[in-house]
Amino acid sequence: MSAVDTRELKAGGAGAAIATMSLGIFLMGLSDMLAKHLTDALDPFQIVLVRNTIAAPFIVGLVYWRLGAKGS
């Protein structure tokens, strides 16, 4: 296990990481709340289909942004 060299960290990098994790935790909680609320009206398979249909463009966009148009 190697130690992290703090001189290599960019200013604000830790703050951005904390904000990203906080946003992710919030969104997962929101997703869970909506899924529990929708189980009264929809079948669980429908909820999973809708959730994945909404999430797919974000995942594709993230991959496209990270890898670029060439995919490398």
pLDDT single digits (tens) 3-40 = 555 555 565 678 888 998 999 999 899 988 988 898 89
Q: Which of 4-8, 52-56, 66-70 has the lowest mean pLDDT?
A: 4-8
pLDDT for 31 equals 86
What's the rounded Cα separation, in Å, for the pair 15 and 38?
34
The residue among 71 and 21 whose pLDDT is bigger is 21
What's the rounded Cα separation, in Å, for the pair 22 and 35?
20
What's the rounded Cα separation, in Å, for the pair 2 and 29?
33
pLDDT for 72 equals 59
Kindly state the average pLDDT of the residues 53-60.
Answer: 91
